[in-house]
Structure formats: C-alpha cells, structure tokens
Structure 1
C-alpha cells in the first residue's frame, strides 16, 4: 500500500521541520522529490539526506510568492525527472515576518506577508502544476494548514489564522473543480510541532491528550496517505493532525 513509485512530488518549504519530514516520507515510498526551500542550502541538505538513503531527490530553491520563480523551479524539476509533477505538497507558510502580535498593534505594512506565502504561494504553485495533473488523469494536492485557521486564540495569530483560513477555503473549491479529472485536493491542519524546546513547550505538550507535540514523521506519514493511490476517494477535506488537542 501507499506505493508512490513512478510519481514525482514537489514539496515546498521542505528544507526543515515538517516539510523535510514530508519530503523524506514521500521519497521513502518511492516518489522522486523536488525539495523546495527559500534557502538553497537547506534544500540541498535535505535532498542529499534523501539520496544518501537510497531515494531520489533534487534541490529546487525558489520563493513561492514569486510566480515567475515558481514556474522556473517547476520547469527545472520537470527537466530533472523527465516528467511532470504528480504530487504537490504546499508546506511553505512561515514568512520572515510572521506577523505575530495583537492585531490592533500591527502596522499595516506587516499584514501582507502571511497571506502572500500561504494563500498566493499556494495559488502560484497549484496553477503551475494543475493542468498537467488533469491532462494525465491523476494528481494529488496536499495543503498544509493549522488549527489556527478554525480556532481563535489570544496569542497574536490573527494574520496567520486568516491566511490559513483563506487557503483552506481555496483548496475546498479547487477540489470540486478537479475531482472529475482524477485529481484530489486536501488539507492537513497541524497542531503544535516539535520545532521549539524548553519548559514552555513541555508545559504545552502536557496539555495535549497524547502528551507530546507533533513530529516531522507524523506529518510525513499523513501526507503519504493523502498522496497515495489509496486516497483516491478522499478529497475536499481538512484533516486535523494535532494529537487530539482539538477534536471534530
């Protein structure tokens, strides 16, 4: 099950954390993976790790908010693998300025970055690969989101939450448009991940029913399922991956 041999994947923001876990997991199931990151060195490191383990990967650095750069990067991946992208995982979502803070204290100059990377970044990437998926009669779109899209908090996440809410809505509508062509589109909404450390993180983890934060491997496993042939009847859904911290 979950065999991705012969498939080609693009994972954005894959140079670290959950994105790296997704890239490793897809490669382990046989996919050739284009490892994207804004920082070339991070993309190269993850790509080398995958190839050292016997997988197939190439580093493809570009900024997902730049449509021309996305098109160029996808073209490079297509040339490297000699086939189109079958699987898109849009994981990039944390800009240099996260825009965290109480909304009424935020200067308007900080409003755009979270929306650009999460919503327009997804649009840039999806628009560049979707026609070839539909023409081939098979494709998988996996959007990484956050519980912040549907659960409010007082932690200064209004901009990030708004951006994630927007992209979840976008994916739901796209899923309906491309379903007749054998292409699925789903969202993984992540809970807190293990890219932080310290007593504060331990205290947060203690409040999660599983008593731990999520790992890159947890996210990778869920992404593999959504990218697999076995998930052909799963589309238009938002799956919560959060250790039970929010249930539906």
Structure 2
C-alpha cells in the first residue's frame, strides 16, 4: 500500500528541513526523487543520505522562478532516468530576498520575491511536468502551503501569504482541469515546523507551543508521509483539497 515503485518525483526546495523530509519519504516508498534546491550542495547532501538508505535520487540545482532553468534541468533529469516526472511536490517557499515587514513598510520591489517563488515557482514547475502526466494518464501534484494563506496575521508576512494564497487558488482550478487525465492536485497547508528552533529563541518557541494542541512543532518526516499518501495510487480519489497539517492549530 502507498508504494511509489517505478515513479519519478520532483521535490522543490528539498535541500533541507521539510523538503528533505519529503524527498526522504518518497524515496523510501520506492520513487526515484529529483532533489531540487537553489543550492546544489544542499541537494547533493540529501541525495547522499537517500543513497545511504539504499534508495534512489539525483540532485538538480536550479531556481524554480526561472522557467527556462526549470525546463532545462527537468528535461535533463528525465533523460537521465528514462522516464517523465510522475509526481511534483512544490515545497520551495522561503525566498532569499524575503522581507518580513508589514505591508505599509514594504517598498514595491520587496513584493515580488515571495510571490515569484510561491506562485510563479509553482506555475513554472507545474507547466514543465504537466503534459507528461496528462499524456500518461497518471500524475500527482502537491503544493506545500501554509495556514498563513487563509489566516490574517500581524507578523509581517503579507507577501508570503499572497503567494501561497495565489498558489492555492491555482491548484483548485488545476484539479478541475486535469482530473479527467488521472492527475490530482492537492494542497498541504503546514503549521509551525521544527526549523523554527533554528530561527527563534526558546521563549518564543514556548509561546508558539502553547497554541498547538499536540504540544510540539511539526516533523519533516511526518510531512513527507502525508505527501507520500497524496502521491500514491490510493489517493486517486482526492483532488482539489486543502489539508491543514498543523498539529491542531486553529487556522481560521
């Protein structure tokens, strides 16, 4: 059950944290994983860790906001593997130029990095892999989103939320367009993850934990398991859905 044998998966932003967890689990389920990251060294480390477990992956360093780069690297990877991409998990989401400020404090040139990555990155990767999925009669697309896409927050992430919200809207329409071809499109909206511990002092983490019913931050392998299900044959009847994966936090 939930086997991904003979499938090829592309996971974007998979060089660390949640993306690495997703790539690791998909590989454990039998997929050959194209591990994308903006930094090739990070991607190669994840590939090496997957190989140590006896599973299969290859590294692909490219910027998902660059359509030509996405196309070139995906086609190169497909040629090397002798198979088209069956599964896309668009996890890349935190732009290097992201600025956490309230909207009034942002200059117009600070709007685009988060929107480009979270919306156009999703559009670019989907565009490059979609024909292969539809032509073969099977495909799975998962957008890793955030509760911020649907919940107003006074923490300076309006542009990040705008990109995620745009991606969620796109995915619902895409699901309606491509379901007839055996392709599903779903959204996994995450809550706070373990990587926050690298960015915030312990006292802030403690305050966040008070808002999470399970009392802990999210685990990358658990996120990977959810993506593994959404990428499986058994999830063929599930499409156009947004699944909140947040430890029970209130997102509405």
TM-score, normalising length: structure 2: 0.97
Match of 1:28 in 2: 28
Task: Tell me by how many angstroms 1:239 deviates.
Answer: 0.4
Match of 1:74 in 2: 74
Distance in structure 2 (CA, Å) of the matches to 1:231 and 1:147: 22
1:235 aligns with 2:235: no
Residue in structure 1 matching 2:215, options 202, 211, 214: 211
Distance in structure 1 (CA, Å) of the matches to 2:207 and 2:153: 17
- Give the alignment's Cα RMSD to 1 decimal: 0.9
Match of 1:221 in 2: 225
Q: 2:92 touches 2:118 (CA, 8 Å); kept in 1?
A: yes
Distance in structure 1 (CA, Å) of the matches to 2:211 and 2:109: 35
Match of 1:97 in 2: 97
Distance in structure 1 (CA, Å) of the matches to 2:65 and 2:58: 21
1:245 aligns with 2:249: yes
When the two structures are aligned, how many residues end up with a matched partner?
248
Distance in structure 1 (CA, Å) of the matches to 2:111 and 2:177: 30
Query: Which SS does the other structure have where 2:126 is aligned?
Result: helix
Q: 1:60 touches 1:76 (CA, 8 Å); kept in 2?
A: no
Query: Which SS does the other structure have where 1:2 is aligned?
Result: coil
Give deviations 1:33-61, integer Å, cap 9, x for gaps: 00000001000000010011100000011
For the structure 1 residues 146 and 128, does the alpha-carbon distance in structure 2 shift closer, same or farther, using more than 3 Å as the test?
Answer: same
Match of 1:190 in 2: 190
Match of 1:61 in 2: 61
Distance in structure 2 (CA, Å) of the matches to 1:247 and 1:65: 28
Distance in structure 2 (CA, Å) of the matches to 1:205 and 1:19: 22
Match of 2:123 in 1: 123
TM-score, normalising length: structure 1: 0.98
Distance in structure 2 (CA, Å) of the matches to 1:28 and 1:205: 30
Query: Which SS does the other structure have where 1:186 is aligned?
Result: strand
Distance in structure 1 (CA, Å) of the matches to 2:178 and 2:73: 23
- Farther-moved stretch of structure 1 (81-90 vs 196-205): 196-205
Distance in structure 2 (CA, Å) of the matches to 1:99 and 1:159: 9
Distance in structure 1 (CA, Å) of the matches to 2:143 and 2:169: 11
Match of 1:137 in 2: 137
Give deviations 1:150-180, integer Å, cap 9, x for gaps: 0001011111111111000000000110000
Task: Tell me by how many angstroms 1:199 deviates.
Answer: 2.4
Match of 1:18 in 2: 18
Distance in structure 1 (CA, Å) of the matches to 2:116 and 2:233: 31
Distance in structure 2 (CA, Å) of the matches to 1:111 and 1:28: 38
Query: Which SS does the other structure have where 1:196 is aligned?
Result: helix
Distance in structure 1 (CA, Å) of the matches to 2:125 and 2:99: 22
Distance in structure 1 (CA, Å) of the matches to 2:59 and 2:65: 18
Residue in structure 2 matching 1:202, options 203, 206, 231: 206
